[in-house]
Structure 1
Amino acid sequence: MAIRQDTIWERFLSPVVRLLIDEQSLRRYAESVDWEKESANFRRDDVTIPSYYTSQNFHGIEGGYLNRSAAVSYDPITQYVVPPNETWVRQALIDAIRVQPRRILDLGCGTGSTTLMLKQAFPQAQVIGLDLSPYMLVRAEHKAQSANLDITWRHGNAEKTVFKDASFDLVTASLLFHETPPTVAQAILHESFRLLVEGGQVLILDGNQNTLRQLEWLNDVFEEPYIRDYAAGSLDASMGAAGFAAVQTQDVWWINQVTSGVKPILRENTIKISVGQYAPTTDTTIDNNDLEDFGSPAFGTKA
């Protein structure tokens, strides 16, 4: 497993972020959970963990996301590395939704921050969060319980889910594609196309590819093994290759972007979606240090 010990993150940024995080609360939370027992509630024997996921470290975490340390530390760290504000950035995906979904699938949901916001925005919809790490799903479930939100969490691979064709009105992915090789990202888009009903929408929130290409040094900040491939690509082109129509990308605070696509309706020649320049609609902040009593980083609530 390749480990880069000389990243800017390891040398400079990680120590700074650690000063901002309440590590004692994190430790108490981690020790209060029987991770193996709770992760077993999500773990599926028919899920094969791909090598690109197990052979690399992500964000300097040895072993990537397949351990409880990643589940505990992901939220507190992410709030400081998604500028200018994590909630505002995730809200951009919510604001770009142009369908009235009855069923929503959030791919690579991690600890569920965007998944919870989707359920809050569409309380009557069935919302499913899918992730390869059962440990991340444990944390996601704790957050959903704290926020009193009914969300289904599934252990699975976004490249090949077990769901039937045309099962969802909306498929989303937040901060996932920069952590996958290009062939995997394309496979996820093809799977998203299969899962959507005609007229259904896919939304991908991630780093701004134009910005990442212009500021090469940003790619050296964190231990992200696939980020250069992601930056060199075009999500618009990848969505078109997967069959999506009305593909548009909007900048989100220059550092990030939201890309939208629609599964064409066969009886219509074109589908148009009005996607304007992103403007924030919320002033909410995420308190990812609020872990007492299983507090929810997504909403700053207590159980």
Structure 2
Amino acid sequence: MAVRQDTIWERFLSPVVRLLIDEEGLRRYADSIDWEKESDRFRREDVIMPPYYISQNFHGITGGYLKSSAAVTYDPITQYVLPPNETIVRQALIDAIKVQPRRILDLGCGTGSTTLMLKQAFPEAEVIGLDLSPYMLVRAEDKARTAGLDIVWRHGNAEKTGFSDASFDLVTASLLFHETPNAVSQTILRESFRLLVVGGQVLILDGNQKTLRQLDWLNDVFEEPYIREYAAGNIDASMGAAGFEAVRTQDVWWTNQVTSGVKPIPAKDTTIQKNVTRYSVTSRDNTIDNNDLEGLESPAFGVMA
């Protein structure tokens, strides 16, 4: 049996990050919630966990995201791995929105950091965050409650959401595609196409594929089983194959990218065309609020909640 090798993160980076975190704060927060009881409120029996999701470790977390410790520690990890700043990177997705959405679906929402920013940007819109992990949804709901934001959290699979055709104006996914095989990502894009109204927009925020291909050592920093497959792919081409048009990828610094696509509008339907207007950035406070848990350790540090 092969022996698992420590990642660069575990050997070199996590000891440095541990100096910046509040481990006691992590434990207090983790102990303050009955995770099984709270996660049961979200857990849906009709949601079947896909093999790719339950058979791999993510971010060095044994068992992936289907545990409370993953939900508690996701934010502390992410704040240190999205240079130059997590809020700036996630804001790039918000700034790329070109529609005025009434309904928004955030796929693979995790702990809801981008979902909260979407609701802040469009307070009148119905915003739904969907994720395979009910534990992540518990954390997301807690953050939304603290921020005073009304967001719907739903347990579900981005490949087959169960929502009706043409029921959303905007579909987003942040930091999801590098954690799925390319075939699954393609299925998610086809599902996004089905869910969008004509003229609706899809936005994918994730790692910069060009950078990942050129700097292969970055793929060894974390335990990400599908990141090399993601790096070798092309989101623009995948969107085109799913039927999207006006596909455009914008670099977000050198580490990330935002790709936008639009569900084609029939040439004869000018009413819809008039409703597709460019989103203008307004002054707002989009600082990600992680309930003052700025520094919490990860199972990758060897400390489990």
Q: How does 1:130-141 map to 2 (within 5 A)?
A: 130-141=130-141
Q: Is the 8 A contact 1:94 1:121 kept in 2?
A: yes
Aligned residue identity for 1:261:
G
Residue matched to 1:20: 20
Whether 1:115 and 2:120 are equivalent positions in the alignment is no
- Whole-Å Cα distance in 1 between the matches of residues 277 and 163 of structure 2? 29
| C-alpha distance in structure 1 between counterparts of 2:269 and 2:230, whole Å | 31
Do the aligned partners of 1:114 and 1:174 also contact (CA within 8 Å) in 2?
Answer: yes
**TM-score, normalized by length of structure 2?**
0.89
Percent of residue pairs bearing the same amino acid type = 81
Q: Work out whether 1:216 is the aligned partner of 2:216.
A: yes
Letter in 2 for 1:290: D
- 1:124-203 equivalent positions in 2, closer than 5 A: 124-203=124-203
Q: CA deviation at 1:282?
A: 7.9
Cα distance in 1 for partners of 2:17, 2:267 equals 53
Superposed CA deviations along residues 28-72 of structure 1, whole A, max 9, x for unmatched, are 000000000000000000000011001000000010000000000
2:107·2:130 contact (CA, 8 Å) conserved in 1? Answer: yes
SS at match of 2:84: coil
Distance in 1, Cα, partners of 2:123 & 2:89 = 21
Q: Which residue of 1 aligns with 2:86?
A: 86
Against the structure 1 CA distance between its residues 253 and 274, is the aligned structure 2 distance closer, same or farther, given a 3 Å change threshold? Answer: farther
Is the 1:25–1:289 contact (alpha carbons within 8 Å) kept by the matching residues of 2? Answer: no
Give, in whole Å, the separation in 2 of the partners of 1:103 and 1:250: 24
**Paired residues of 1:3 and 1:57 also in contact (CA < 8 A):** no
Structure 1 pair 241–122 and aligned structure 2 pair: CA distance change class (3 A): same
SS in 1 for 2:19: helix
Could you say which residue in structure 2 is the equivalent of 1:301?
A: none
Q: Match for residue 206 of structure 1?
A: 206
Gaps of 5+ in 1: 293-303
Q: Which whole-Å deviations, capped at 9, do the CAs of 1:216-274 have from their partners, x for residues lacking one?
A: 11011110000000000000000000000000000001110000000001235998x99
Q: Which letter does structure 2 place at the counterpart of 1:260?
A: S
CA contact 2:8–2:222 (8 Å) conserved in 1: yes
Provide TM-score, normalisation by structure 1.
0.90
Counterpart Cα distance in 1 of 2:290 and 2:20: 11
What is the letter of the counterpart of residue 211 of structure 1? Answer: T
Write the distance in 2 (CA, Å) between the matches of 1:268 and 1:85.
43
State which drifts further: 4-13 or 79-88: 4-13
CA distance in structure 2 between the partners assigned to 1:121 and 1:87 by the alignment: 13
How many pairs are equivalent?
A: 290
Q: Deviating runs (4+, > 3 A) in structure 1?
A: 1-5, 268-271, 281-289
Q: How far does the alpha carbon of each residue in 1:92-114 deviate from its partner, in whole angstroms, 9 at most, with x for none?
A: 00000000000000000000000
1:14 is displaced (CA, Å) by 1.5
Q: Is the 8 A contact 2:143 2:291 kept in 1?
A: no
- Residue identity opposite 2:186 in structure 1: Q
Distance 1:2 1:30, change over 3 A: farther
Structure 2 segments unaligned to the other structure (5+ residues):
295-305
Shift of 1:5: 3.5
Q: Distance in 1 between matches of 2:113 and 2:286?
A: 13
Letter in 2 for 1:91: Q
1:70-85 matched pairs, under 5 angstroms = 70-85=70-85
Distance in 1, matches of 2:43 and 2:277, equals: 40
